Amino acid sequence: MILPVTVNFYENLDSQPAGRMNKLNITVAVTGLNNIDSPGPGVPVIRALRESDFFNVRIIGLAYENLEPGIYMPGIADKVYMIPYPSDGVEALLERLEYINSRERIDVLIPNFDSELYTFMKSDKRLGEMGIKTFLPELAQYEERHKANLSGFGKKYNVKVPGNFELFSHSDIQKIPSGFTFPLMVKGKFYDAYTAENKQQIAFFYNKIAAKWGLPVIIQEFVRGTEVNVVALGDGQGNTIGAVPMRKQYITDKGKAWGGVTLDDKNMLELTRRIISETKWRGGMELEIIKTASNELYLIEINPRIPAWVYLAVGAGQNLPEALVRLALGLDVEPFTSYKVGKMFIRYSYDLLVDIGQYELVSTKREN
């Protein structure tokens, strides 16, 4: 039987935090409780924080929809509040958070959806005034890594990226440069990616994506190879606090990993460290990378947040959510130096039973 192996990337070895007797009591608010077939990172982040040796956490779940499973899962959130969608604007969100904070005294807030990050970054100052700390990318970092800006990002930081082209209107489909050959990827600003084999399919996906995520819709060159991912945490000074590479072993029809395994790949870690060091990335991130047959790495996307598979990193020895909370609180954090290679995750579905009364509370009182 093969056992997971711990690999070290730095000379100074193991710096796992020792178990603490007196844990620090804190309240952390977390979004992304949609632990469905295309899961949000909220539940895995909460699991990671619950396993912290350093903190004793009270978890406030923030949900957008009344069926997000994390609302009902036992042992996940201590209390759940519904919050308005990011598209309703900063004011509506802050008003709700003020109410929630008046009852819960939130120390740290971890937003987990791409689409809400902008709103939270814009609210950073007001959140600070409420005493709520976050650890988010700077607005400029966030903008720079946008899918639509990926070519510029690649040039600036000398990273290989596939060519891309933005569609602002249906007629732009006819203007896609001839250098782009099929198949092509059609991507939404925040989510969704489809492979198109011809212009008709692009038109179809364009409508679908534009209706949901707005414009532009992004056309990206299709790079053949294996998709690999890295979850990482930057401290905002250019240091990589932690990074774990993973290969998806099974991908659902929604393009989400159903199983994955940690990899031993120094090139991927090197690329991650270089990106974090040059952008001075602040906060969690996920790099989506294509590894070609000739072992070249193409960066296809930077997600400016912790991915849903972060619990694999925790299991492999890097509790990145805990480190993120420590950074948010201004505590010193030593970079992780190792992780277990060959650690796997396998997602599964599980039917949770709840009574209609719980659903009623969430639907009518907007808290549970």
**Interface positions with other proteins (CB under 8 A):** 34, 36, 64-68, 82-92, 96, 115, 118-119, 122, 168, 189-190, 210, 213-215, 356, 359-360, 363-366
Q: Establish how many alpha carbons lie within 13 A of residue 256's alpha carbon, considering only the half-sphere containing its beta carbon.
A: 18
User: Which token pair is 39?
Assistant: 């899961």
**222 versus 359: smaller Cβ distance to other proteins:** 359
Q: How far is the CB of 214 from other proteins (least distance, A)?
A: 4
Q: Give the whole-angstrom CA distance, residue 221 versus residue 30.
A: 35
**115 versus 277: smaller Cβ distance to other proteins:** 115
Q: How far is the CB of 312 from other proteins (least distance, A)?
A: 24
| Contact indicator for 284, 243 with CB cutoff of 8 Å | no
**90 versus 176: smaller Cβ distance to other proteins:** 90
Q: Give the whole-angstrom CA distance, residue 247 versus residue 240.
A: 20
Locus of tokens 């949609």: 34
Q: Give the whole-angstrom CA distance, residue 212 versus residue 206.
A: 10
**45 versus 83: smaller Cβ distance to other proteins:** 83
What sign has the CA pseudo-torsion 221, 230, 111, 39? positive
Q: How far is the CB of 337 from other proteins (least distance, A)?
A: 38
**66 versus 279: smaller Cβ distance to other proteins:** 66
Q: Give the whole-angstrom CA distance, residue 32 versus residue 311.
A: 14
**207 versus 226: smaller Cβ distance to other proteins:** 207
Q: Give the whole-angstrom CA distance, residue 333 versus residue 349.
A: 35
Q: How far is the CB of 365 from other proteins (least distance, A)?
A: 7
Q: How far is the CB of 308 from other proteins (least distance, A)?
A: 14
Q: How far is the CB of 92 from other proteins (least distance, A)?
A: 5
User: Which token pair is 134?
Assistant: 């976050």
DSSP tag of 178: T
